[in-house]
Amino acid sequence: MLEVRGLEAAYGASQVLFGLDLTIGAGEVISLLGRNGMGKTTTVRSILGLLRPRGGAITFAGSAIAGLPAYRVAQAGIGLVPEGRQIFPNLSVHENLVATARPPRAGTSGEAWTLERLYALFPRLAERQANMGNQLSGGEQQMLAIGRALMTNPRLLILDEATEGLAPLIRAEIWRVLAALKQTGQSILVIDKNVEALSRIADRHYILEKGRIAWSGDSAALRGDAALRGRYLGV
Amino acid sequence: MPLLLFLEQTLNGLQFGVTLFLMAAGLTLVLGIMNMVNLAHGAFYMLGAYFAATLVPITGSFFMSVVLALAGAAAVGLLTEMVALRTLYSRDHLDQVLATFGLILFFRELVKIVWGPIAIFMDVPDLFSGRVEIVPGAPYPVYRLLVLAVGVTVGGFLWWLITRTRLGMLIRAGASNREMVGALGVDIKRLYTLVFALGCALAALAGVMAGPLYVVDIGMGDDILIKTFVVIVIGGIGSVRGAFVAAIIVGMVDTFGRILPSQFGLSATIAELAIYILMAAVLFWKPRGLFPAAG
C-alpha cells in the first residue's frame, strides 16, 4: 500500500531524514517509534507532502506521490490525524467532520464512513456535535481529529502522537477505537510512545534513530528485547 | 433636527452602509483568509460601474447589464488572482501593498485607454426612477431603497453561504488552519481563487449600484476603498458579520457626520474625520475589532 524508499528530508540546511525505508501492506497496522527529535513527525510530513522530500521515492497504492502537494496526497487516500490534533476551533464538531469529508474512492472495498457510523464509534462526539471545536476537552478534540480523518474515507490512516497528553481512560478509549478500526481492515501507521499498547495492536514496528530506521520487527521481537527498548526508546 | 430630515438621512446612511458592506465583504475575506492586503479591490468597484454603464445602452436591460457586469468583473478578478496575486500570498504585506498599488495604476490606465478620461453618467433605471412616500410627507427615491434591499439580500446570502454550506465551512476552516485544510484533501488555491472572484463580483455590484447615484469615473474606487478598510478594521478582519455591522455604523456616522455639524453651526470638516475617530476609539477598546474572527 505505502512504500517509502531512501527518503531524505531537511528543514533548510539541517537534514533530518537520511534514507529512510518503510513499507505498509494493506490492512496492516504499523508503528513508528523513537525518541523525540529522531524524525517521526518529519517522516509523516514528508509522506503527506507538507514537506517536500529532498530525495527518495514514496509510492502509494501504485503511484508515486513524493513531491505532490498535500491535497493530492490526501485525495489519493491518506488520512492524517496530526500531532497536536489541529481541529478547526471556529467550526462546530459537526462541521469539522463534514467540511472535508469525501466518499471512498471508486473501487475500494469496505463500508464507507458516514456521520451515523462515526457517531456510533464516538458517542461522545454525537453528544457534542453542536459545540465549537475550541469548547472540547483534549480527549474529545482527539476523537474529533480521528473522526475528521476517517470521514475522508482514507485507505491509510496516519496518527501522529494521538494519545499524547491525554488521561489514561481517554487513552484506553483511543486504543480501543484503533483496535476496532484494525478489525475492519483499515491500514494504519501509528506514531506513539506507548510501547505496551502498540505491541498489542500493531503488526510490525519501526524504530527511528537519527533519521534512519535502526530496527524493525514484529511485536514478539519488540516485547522480548528489553535492551533494544532501553537503547532506542529509553524505557 | 426635524424628524423628516432625520428619517431621510437614516435611510441614506443605511444605503451607504450596505454599499460599503458589499465592498468590505470581499476585502475582509481576502485579508482574513489569505492574509493578503489587496489595495486593488477598489478597481473592481470601478470596473463594475464602467461595465454596467457601457452595457445598459447596448442590452437595454438594467438587470441583464448588472449580471453581465458582475460576471465580467469576476472574470477579471479570476485572471488577476491567477496571474498576479497568487505569487504574493506568501510574501510580506509590504510587497503585497506595492504590487496591488501597481494594479490600481494599471487598472486606472486601462480604463482611461478604453473609456477615456471623462466621467460617464449612468441613469437610474426607469423602473426605479420614482419616489415613494414610506414616511408621509418625505418622498424617498425608489432606487436608493433598491440599493438597500439588494445590500441586505446579499448580506443574507453571504450569511447563508458562510454558515450553512460546505464552501463556507472550508472558508472558515481555511482562515484558522490553512495547512490542515490542504492535508485533508482540499485544494486551497482553488478555494482562494473562488473566494477572490466572489469578492470581486461583490465589489462590482457595489460599483454598479453606486453608478447612477454618483458618477462613474476613474477615481471612484479609491475614495470608497479607504472607507472600506476602516470598515473591516472596525468589524474585525476576516469577519463577514463584523463587516456588516461595521459597514452600517460607518455608513451612519459618515452620513450624519455630514449634516449634524451644520445643524449646530460647526465646520463640516469634522465629517471627514468622524469615521477615523470612530475607528481609533474601537481599536482602543477592542484592538481586534468588534467581531474578531477566530483563529
Query: Do B46 and B220 touch, CB atoms closer than 8 A?
Result: yes
Query: What is the spatial distance between Cα A175 and Cα B92, in angstroms, rounded to a whole number?
Result: 44
A chain contacts of residue B172, beta-carbon cutoff 8 Å: 88, 90-91, 95
Contact at CB, A89 and B188, closer than 8 angstroms:
no
Sheet of A29-33, strands arranged across: A78-81, A156-160, A187-191, A29-33, A204-209, A212-218
Cross-strand partners of A5:
A57
Would B294 be classed as within a structural domain? no
Q: How far is A96 from chain B (nearest CA, A)?
A: 8
For position B294, what pLDDT does the model report?
55
Q: How far is B169 from chain A (nearest CA, A)?
A: 6
For position B225, what pLDDT does the model report?
93
Per DSSP, A113 falls in state P
Domain count, chain B: 1
Region B239-243: mean pLDDT is 90
pLDDT tens per residue across span B112-159: 999 999 898 888 888 888 888 877 777 888 999 999 999 999 999 999
Would B295 be classed as within a structural domain? no
Domain of residue B138 covers: 3-285
Q: What is the pLDDT along chain A (235 residues), one digit of tens a residue?
A: 999 999 999 998 899 999 999 999 999 999 999 988 889 999 999 999 999 999 999 999 999 999 899 999 999 999 999 999 999 998 999 999 999 999 988 777 778 999 999 999 999 999 999 999 999 999 999 999 999 999 999 999 999 999 988 999 999 999 999 999 999 999 999 999 888 899 999 999 999 998 999 999 999 888 888 888 888 887 5
Would B197 be classed as within a structural domain? yes
Would B182 be classed as within a structural domain? yes
Would B292 be classed as within a structural domain? no
Q: Give the C-alpha distances (Å, rounded to integers) separating A65 from A4, A34, A102, B269.
A: 10, 25, 19, 63
CATH number at residue A125: 3.40.50.300
Domain of residue A135 covers: 2-232
For position B270, what pLDDT does the model report?
74
Would B13 be classed as within a structural domain? yes
User: In B, what residues contact A, Cβ < 8 A?
Assistant: 166, 169-170, 172-173, 175-177, 179-188, 293-295
Cross-strand partners of A11:
A14
For position B1, what pLDDT does the model report?
67
Q: What does R_g of chain B's alpha carbons equal in angstroms?
A: 19
Query: What is the spatial distance between Cα B267 and Cα B273, in angstroms, rounded to a whole number?
Result: 11
Domain count, chain A: 1
Would B291 be classed as within a structural domain? no
Q: Give the C-alpha distances (Å, rounded to integers) separating B168 from A45, A109, B29, B123, B178.
A: 27, 31, 11, 36, 14
Residue B255, pLDDT > 50, answer: yes
Would B241 be classed as within a structural domain? yes
CATH number at residue B91: 1.10.3470
In terms of residues, how long is chain B? Answer: 295
The more confidently predicted of residues B3 and B166 is B166
Query: What is the spatial distance between Cα B217 and Cα B230, in angstroms, rounded to a whole number?
Result: 22
